[in-house]
Amino acid sequence: MFLLSSAVVKSDRNHLVRVIRDDGVEDDLTRRCFSTYDEAYDELERFYADLCCSDDRVEYSIMQAELESDKQ
């Protein structure tokens, strides 16, 4: 269904959690930021619940992303 980039995604002030599409395309879900892995997971669960056919299924991964201020 989806993968985690590291074994554990911790919530801290310096990182956000993002959902990315495995095909690299951006959509409404990938533009959002989450403060915890659980929030991102719950949103993916709601997204997949709305799909009725596996042929239409887009694969997503949950990744930890740095804040813009950390890149400087």
Whether 13 shows a pLDDT value over 80: the answer reads no
In the prediction, which pLDDT does 63 show?
Answer: 94
Which run of H or of E encompasses 27?
A: none
Domain boundaries, the chain: 15-67
Instruction: Quote the pLDDT of residue 58.
Output: 82
Q: What is the DSSP letter of 22?
A: T
pLDDT at site 29: 93
Q: What digits encode the pLDDT tens for the residues 22-55? A: 999 999 999 999 999 999 999 999 988 877 776 6
Q: Which residue has the tokens 């990182």?
A: 15
End-to-end, the C-alpha distance of the chain in Å comes to 34
For residue 1, is pLDDT > 70? no
The three-class DSSP label of residue 54 is helix
